[in-house]
Amino acid sequence: MSNLTPIRTPCIGVCSTGIGDAVCRGCKRFAHEVIDWNGYSTEQKRAIDARLDEFLAKCVANKLRIVDPGLLSWQLSVQKIRHQPHHDPYCHLFALLKAGAKQITAPEQFGFEVLPRYRDVTLMQLRDQIDEEFWVLSAAHYDRYISTRDLFPEQVPEALR
C-alpha cells in the first residue's frame, strides 16, 4: 500500500458508541477512535485499519476457506462489491457475504468453501456469527489494552486520560 493512499473511515453508518458502547458494533473501532478519527494522522489511521483487517480476517478464516482467490476477486468485480483492495482476501470474502450471503447457494462458484464444522449453518448465520466474533475480539482487545489504563499508562490515548 502506498504511503500516499488515504485510509478511508471504516464507518458503516451503524454506530453504537453514541449509546455508550466502548467498541462500535458497526465498524468495531473503539469509541475514542470513532470520535477522533478525523484528527488522526495517516499512520494512526493505518494502524487502526491494520488491526481491524487482521481481526476480521481471523474471524472469517475460522469458518471459511478461500480455494480460488482469482475467482473470488472476479466475483467481487462482477458483483460490484466494494472492498478495500489492500485488505486481506478474507476481508474481501466477508464483504461478499455482507452483500449477498442470501443469494450464494454454491460457495465454490465464488472461490470459497465452508469449513466442515460449519456446513450445517447458512451463510447468513455464518456472516452474523463472524460479525459477532469480530466485535467480541475487538472488545477483548479494548478491555485488555485500552480500558486497563493503570497497566499501560503510556498507551492510553490522550482523550481518555
Cell numbers 452483500: residue = 99
Residue ranges of domains in the chain: 17-160
Chunk the chain into consecutive blocks of 10 residues (it has 161) and report each block's average pLDDT, rounded to whole numbers: 74 84 92 94 96 98 98 97 95 97 97 98 98 97 81 59 52
Positive or negative, the CA dihedral 142, 84, 16, 132 is negative
- pLDDT, position 1: 46
- pLDDT, position 151: 57
H helical segments located in the chain: 31-36, 42-61, 69-78, 89-100, 123-145
Q: What is the pTM of this model?
A: 0.88
